[in-house]
Structure 1
Amino acid sequence: MRRSFWSSFGSMAALAVALAGCSAPVTGELMVAIQTDMAVTKDLDHIELQVLSGGVPVISGASYELGPEHVALPATQGLLVSEDPSREISIRVRAIRHDRPRVEHTVLTTVPSDRVATLWVPLHFLCSADEASRPGAPGACPDDLTCVAGACRDPRVSAASLPDYVEDDVLRRACFDVPSCFRSADPAEDLDTADCTIAAGDGVNVGIATEGEGACGAAGCFVPLDAESDFGWHRRDDGRIALPDALCSKERLARLGVVTSAVTAECPVKRIGDPLCAVDESQPVVLAARQRSPISLAVGEGSVFWTEQGALSGQDGFKGDGAVKRIPIEGGIPETLASDQAAPRHLALDGANGVLWTNRGAGAGKAALMRRRLDRADVRELLNEQHLQELGPWGTLEALATNDKHLFWTQLSGTGVRGRVGRASVDGQTRSTLSEHLFANRIAAASNVACWTELGQDDPAPGAVDDKGTVWCLEDGETEPVKVGDRQRKPYGIALDARNAREVFWVNDGGEIVRGAVDRNAPEVIFEDHDNPGPYGIALDEDRVYWTNLRQGTVSTLSRDAPPRSNCRGDRCTLATGQRRPGAIAVDAGAIYWVNEGLPGEANGAVVRLAKPPPP
């Protein structure tokens, strides 16, 4: 997609950079053109402009809101020559996000006396405050330097080297559609970190694959690099592409990727000043990319929270470098709430401004049920292995749910031990076993009830229908759980409506979506497709049920009150296809969120958002 795109500061007329009282005629002008390789308004929402002439403020503290109804980038500000063309001017532009400085760029130069010249002032990802503050980065540049492509350099630019200003080349360029142009991007070939170069043929665009910054689409998040530019990349005489040196630090390459994509008619070479197209919100948009085995997620407090199991360690499972993270629902920079976790699995939000999760145990870490308050940086164990052993022989910690009164968890069966469904007070001080089942799996809780799934046979006979699974619910005040579904085809995800917990929904891996009651065995299959098994995660809102299919790579929806065995053929219920092992799913008032688990231990998982479609 390409469209016309132009902007200026509108009401900001060209300003003379002469001192007050001077009246010499002016013929020359410097057109300051501000541009970015990050996403407006996700990464940047305001810019500030300051101009000094001979140390005297000409523009000071000017702030401009960015966005479709406000200033768009590139944007320009004209500066007229003074009576002394040799007078040096200082131009500083700073970008803000939620009142927090993100990136700034300073230029020292002069205004040409006999022509109008263009001065590009980039607000680039590699110079963002978050990137500059990471280990191995230069940090904030000293006052006499400025950041260029991630490195601190002399801010002086000779006006004689600047190109003539041509309005169409600055303000009327077609936008560059990053999600589309990098949809099929490949990792860069033969990356030489010694000189920060890659091998690439003619006709390519080059980008940085990030966790969440830049323009995000269905394939991930990318920052496009400007071709043949001091701020991006250029082709050397030997044919190799030289990247910004700062990109090739060990620390950056541990988080970021370098990718290339083919130039096409719809995706020409990205040049400095090309604006980025708006993201198509009717399609799935990655919020957080390059995640290592994300497993569970929850939505609340304006953020999406998830667990990341981390990297694999040979045949011994995960290394123990897992994490719990969050990101604003509109996207941005993923924040790590807890690091070095022992293969974190399932996650829940409690009503006391906290996030809870289960650690399966990995590396030197042990199995535990963990909690972190969101208003402080303390991470602590609520339940550890000793607490679990006090309840008897125990299996691997798995799922987790909570309500205002209790925590609930499941433990998978293992050699010589049965699975368990456990309950504890919200502070973890009192603990009990609700039920022991051989294959206890997922669990959900509402104010007055907890429900869980039991898989059934571990290894059914070849050709046999695996329909030995069961679903159970236990209401407050009762001592024995009620079987609310039997002969189920390997039930996995389960969901309750926290406001009206009389109905329970679950998915069967055999290809079914089931609606049941919490107090009796009366399940109804509202959707079935045994030819496409793999339903996995499930979520509810007031009107609809949503589910993922891990094996088919799809996300689907159906009315909660749909009649039994509703017809969803012909993609009538399908919201998204081509997902990479979609697993856990959650919803809020405006969107659907899920994790793409990707391959175990590899940085190809993601957290994805899709705006809810309009009611049918």
Structure 2
Amino acid sequence: MTLPTPRPSLSVLPLLYAAGLSLLTACPSSPDILEDDDSDLESSTGNTTNPSVTTLPPTGGSDTGIDPDGGTSTTGLDTDDSTGTTGEGFDDPGCPTCMVLADGLTGGRGLALDLDYVYFTDQDQGLVHRVHKGGGDGAVLAMDQQQPYGIVVGGDQVYWANFVVGGGVYTAPVAGGPATLVESDEYPRHLDISGDQLYWGTFEEGHGRVMHRALGQGGSATAIADLLGGVADLVAEGEQVFFTAHTTETGGTFIVPPPKGAPLGSVFTASVGDDPFSYDALVSDVAEPWGIAKQGDTLVWVDGMGVPADQPRTVLSVSIGGGPTQELASNQTAPWGIATDEQYVYWTDHDAVRAVPLGGGDELVLAELQNQARSIAVDDQWVYWITRNRVLQRPKP
């Protein structure tokens, strides 16, 4: 399979490090392992100054602002392409078949796809971006965000969660324009869209919820699950949501990262209209479950750290109706994000990206030497993921 050639008439990506920094120094061979780098959770406010890297500045030079009262900001990003360099010629030492779509991030976190573009968040710099699949044109869609985390695309809008106390879910046009507050919330984290509904989970100390509301600006949010412990990730289909959550082994107050003890968790399901306190556990007492994805009638997820009896550092699957779990991969380093298609399960494992057949089989290494690989997504032909400093694309196995 041939990598697509970046569009030569456009000149905006990848993101570049500040002057004097090497493009290939951000992939250390033995980085410190961080299970989920959400440090300073209570006090984080995001970067409200200009980023230290060249990050697709708007041609017109105006910033995207957000009205604290929830209205549309009065400024927005110019959607014309900015000057810079394309992805042509950049490579990744741990993935010879990869194309580097964006470089120079400092806190890459969320990732989402539509037909033509890859959307992503830089949590540390407070930025929301998009870049063309295969390299080429891109734009900063929002600046000065407070810890932007999960991201999802629906129609002509992109939605993201600002993962702080007093945070919220925001939206902006995918083609560029002002950012708007959709719903205020405490520590919203990952999001999904099903039909005309937007879903998200919250991940705060001692409390987590799964919320939903209609897309757009009308209506208000309603909880469909309310629990002790944080909602780590979710996937929605119709009016049913499947989600991972975890608390401490003793069942006490949830400890925000870095976790203490051996965090126990579960895979839950809940539906719109149900009592938010009557959600069902499909799988219980597993080690610190993080990312979750769905293919047909099968759920897949990754477990983080824990005691041996709780299947730590594994990739597992279960039927959406519950029942026995299947271990797809074990002895991982620190698995976090996950995606799936009809053939494979794909996940990030701190400094690597891996895959395994959906029904079980030999594990494949898709990339190595990654700097805290995080969210991951797939389309018909390609695998995309984000690390702390890069967005990458490679062919499916």
After TM superposition, the score normalised by the length of structure 1 is 0.47
Q: Is the 8 A contact 1:494 1:538 kept in 2?
A: yes
Asked whether the 8 Å contact 1:212–1:288 carries over to 2, the reply is: no
- Alignment correspondent of 1:523: 325
Tell me if structure 2 keeps the 8 A contact 1:211–1:289: no
> What's the CA shift for 1:43?
4.5
Q: Which residue of 1 aligns with 2:163?
A: 360
CA distance in 2, matches of 1:182, 1:335: 20
Are 1:608 and 2:397 an aligned pair? Answer: no
Write the letter of the residue equivalent to 2:353: V
Aligned to 2:128: 324
Is the Cα–Cα contact under 8 Å of residues 455 and 470 in structure 1 kept in the other structure?
yes
Going from structure 1 to structure 2, the CA distance change for 1:495 and 1:211 (only over 3 Å counts) comes to farther
CA drift of 1:183 comes to 5.2
SS at match of 2:375: strand
Q: 1 or 2, which has the higher helix percentage?
A: 1
Q: Does 1:423 align with 2:227?
A: no
Closer, same or farther: CA 182–409 of 1 in aligned 2, 3 Å: closer
1:575 corresponds to which residue? 366
Native 8 Å contact 1:405 1:425 kept in 2: yes
Distance 2:207 2:147 in 1: 21
Partner of 1:300: 114
Task: Work out the CA distance in 1 between the residues paired with 2:326 and 2:85.
Answer: 41
Question: Which of 310, 333, 336 is residue 140 of structure 2 equivalent to?
Answer: 336
Question: Aligned residue for 1:590?
Answer: 381
1 or 2 for the larger relative contact order (CA 8 Å, sep ≥6)? Answer: 2
Task: Note if 1:216 corresponds to 2:11.
Answer: no
Partner residue in 2 for 1:42: 6
Q: CA deviation at 1:592?
A: 0.5
**Deviation of residue 40 (structure 1)?**
10
Q: Which residue of 2 aligns with 1:192?
A: none
Unmatched 5+ stretches in structure 2: 14-21, 28-83, 249-253, 305-311
Name the structure 1 match of 2:191.
Answer: 400
Query: In 1, distance between residues paired with 2:230 and 2:120?
Result: 24
Q: Is the 8 A contact 2:93 2:369 kept in 1?
A: no
- Shift in alpha-carbon separation, 1:478–1:436, aligned structure 2, 3 A: closer
Match of 1:436 in 2: 226
Work out the CA distance in 2 between the residues paired with 1:217 and 1:294: 18
Instruction: Confirm or deny: 8 A CA contact 1:282 1:610 kept in the other structure.
Output: no
Q: For 1:337-486, what aligned pairs fall within 5 Å after superposition?
A: 337-350=141-154, 352-361=155-164, 367-375=167-175, 377-384=177-184, 388=185, 395-414=186-205, 418-427=207-216, 429-437=219-227, 438-457=229-248, 458=254, 466=262, 468-475=264-271, 478-479=274-275, 480-486=278-284
Shift of residue 475 of structure 1?
A: 4.0
Q: CA 1:423/1:284 → structure 2, altered by over 3 Å: closer, same or farther? A: same
User: Structure 1 residues 442 and 459 mapped into 2: Cα distance closer, same or farther (>3 Å)?
Assistant: same
1:505 aligned to 2:379?
A: no
Aligned partner letter, 1:378:
P
Superposition RMSD on alpha carbons, in Å? Answer: 3.0
* Paired amino acid for 1:422: M
Judge conservation of contact 2:99–2:394 (CA < 8 Å) in 1: yes
CA spacing shift, 1:465–1:525, aligned 2, 3 Å = farther
Distance 1:185-1:355 versus aligned 2 partners, 3 A rule: closer
How far apart are the structure 1 equivalents of 2:368 and 2:313? 16
2:303–2:335 CA contact under 8 A, matched in 1? yes
Equivalent-residue separation in structure 2 for 1:184 and 1:468 (angstroms): 36
Letter in 1 for 2:380: A
Superposed displacement of residue 338, structure 1 = 1.3
The structure 2 residue matched to 1:535, chosen from 318, 335, 345, is: 335
Task: Report if the CA contact (8 A) 1:211-1:333 is conserved.
Answer: no
Aligned residues: 312
User: Which residue type is aligned with residue 329 of structure 2?
Assistant: F
CA contact (8 A) 1:299 1:586 kept: yes
Q: What is the deviation of 1:413?
A: 2.3
Structure 2 residue matching 1:423: 3-state secondary structure: strand
- Matched to 2:367, the amino acid is A
State the secondary structure of the residue aligned to 2:281.
Answer: strand
CA contact (8 A) 2:339 2:377 kept: yes
Q: Is the 8 A contact 2:286 2:303 kept in 1?
A: yes
Alpha-carbon distance between aligned partners in 1 of 2:102 and 2:380, rounded to the nearest angstrom: 20
Bigger shift: residues 539-548 or 396-405: 396-405
- Distance (whole Å) between structure 1 residues aligned to residue 93 and residue 7 of structure 2: 18
- Counterpart Cα distance in 2 of 1:546 and 1:41: 25
Change over 3 Å in CA distance of 1:579–1:475 after alignment to 2: same
Distance 2:26 2:176 in 1: 39
CA drift at 1:332? 2.2
Q: Counterpart of 1:555?
A: 353
C-alpha distance in 2, partners of 1:375/1:459? 39
Q: Which letter maps to 1:523?
A: T
CA contact (8 A) 2:211 2:222 kept: yes
**Amino acid across the alignment from 1:607:** V
Alignment partner, residue 35 of structure 2? none
State the secondary structure of the residue aligned to 2:90. strand
Q: 1:41 to 1:413 in 2, by over 3 A?
A: closer
CA distance in 2, matches of 1:465, 1:344: 28
Q: Provide the identity percentage.
A: 21
One-letter identity of the residue aligned with 1:399: H
Q: What's the offset of the Cα at 1:182?
A: 7.5
Which structure is larger by alpha-carbon Rg, 1 or 2?
Answer: 1
Deviation of residue 554 (structure 1)? Answer: 0.9
Deviation (angstroms), 1:301:
2.4
Separation in 2, partners of 1:596, 1:185: 10
